[in-house]
Amino acid sequence: MVPADDVFEEWFEIIGGVPPYEITQLAGPTVEIFHIGRDTMVPPFASGWRWVPSTTGSPHTFTFRATDQLGATTDITYTAAVYANTDTSRFMYISPSGNDTTGTGTRASPKLTLAACWGSTEDTSTHANKQIFFVGGTYDIGTTSGIELDGERITLNNNKPKTYVGAYGTRPRWNNAGTYTNWEISANLRISNLDWGDPVYDAPGVGRRFAQLGSAPVNGGFANIKFIGEIGAPNDGTNNACIYLNDESSEHQRMSFTYIEFEDCQDMLGMQN
């Protein structure tokens, strides 16, 4: 689902082939296709599309063809149901100009903090199925009141939203601020178009990270994220990673990573199995 009359941006998740890819649109309302690295032939390579939808004709179906450098092709189809961007049962906007008390959660009347979408406890499920849009600004996870701490982390389960997006034309930033997120969800987790700073130790000197995907079968993807901050710990082999995959239960986790940047970081992924 996407909000009407707002710029919607999606990144292609293409597995295999020889990048960069040439993308052509075969069906659906006309969109803008954009590329990273294709024209200069300098990696990293990524492609996506932008569209300003209206509710007319919803749902819309789009088909694209990706052609790699050897001429191999694959077709990609998306279906987008469009709803009014004032529909607060589906969308919530958060902005530095917002107010958690008086804001309604629309772009014209946004909320202010992460606490607005996460609620006061792990069991709060008021906004579980909403998409969260950040209109610029910096948001500190560690100062999010009401969510129970488990060591150096907060656990976000199926009661919480699964989609977090930096609104087009802005570049919001998440700071861990002493607390990292442990995602224990069974539905698709999608985070895109933002900076993520201030990695945190899981315990003193052990396992510094930005986030952890817990033992639940997390699926989804990260796109257009810049991780900012040093994750090295005093000892080698201590599970340092931007994203740590905790797979103790042997349950399947499938995550895609599209156009990920690093500043002072090493080791994109770590895993326990």
pLDDT tens, 250-266?
555 677 888 888 887 76
Among 123-137, 204-218, 219-233, the range of highest mean pLDDT: 123-137
Tokens of 146: 């009401």
What's phi and psi for 186, nearest 5 deg? -110, -5
- Could you give the CA distance from residue 201 to residue 122 in angstroms, rounded to a whole number? 22
Rounded mean pLDDT of 206-229?
Answer: 80
Rounded mean pLDDT of 201-228?
Answer: 76
The pLDDT score that the predictor gives to residue 95 is 95
pLDDT band at 239; cut points 50, 70, 90:
low
pTM (predicted TM-score): 0.88
Angle value at C-alpha 256, between 212 and 147, nearest 5 degrees = 30
What's phi and psi for 224, nearest 5 deg? 55, 55
**Each residue of 120-162: pLDDT tens digit?**
777 888 999 999 999 999 998 876 655 666 667 788 888 889 9
Rounded mean pLDDT of 205-225?
Answer: 77
Phi-psi region of 119 (alpha: psi -120 to 50; beta: other; left: phi over 0): left
The pLDDT score that the predictor gives to residue 251 is 58
Rounded mean pLDDT of 107-119?
Answer: 91
pLDDT at 32 > cutoff 90: yes
Q: 35 and 20 in contact (C-beta within 8 Å)? A: yes
Higher local confidence (pLDDT), 218 or 133: 133
The pLDDT score that the predictor gives to residue 268 is 63
The pLDDT score that the predictor gives to residue 234 is 45
Higher local confidence (pLDDT), 77 or 255: 77
Tokens of 228: 């900012």
CB neighbour list of residue 157: distance below 8 Å, 6 or more residues apart: 122, 184, 185, 216
Q: How would you classify the pairing of strands 91-94 and 131-134?
A: parallel
Q: What percentage of the chain reaches a pLDDT higher than 90?
A: 41
Name the average pLDDT for the chain.
84
pLDDT at 273 > cutoff 60: no
The pLDDT score that the predictor gives to residue 39 is 82
Cα separation values, 29 from 10, 23, 85, 124, 148, Å: 14, 15, 19, 38, 45
Rounded mean pLDDT of 159-166?
Answer: 92
Element (H, E) at 118: helix 115-118
The pLDDT score that the predictor gives to residue 29 is 93
Element (H, E) at 3: strand 2-3
Q: 221 and 259 in contact (C-beta within 8 Å)? A: no
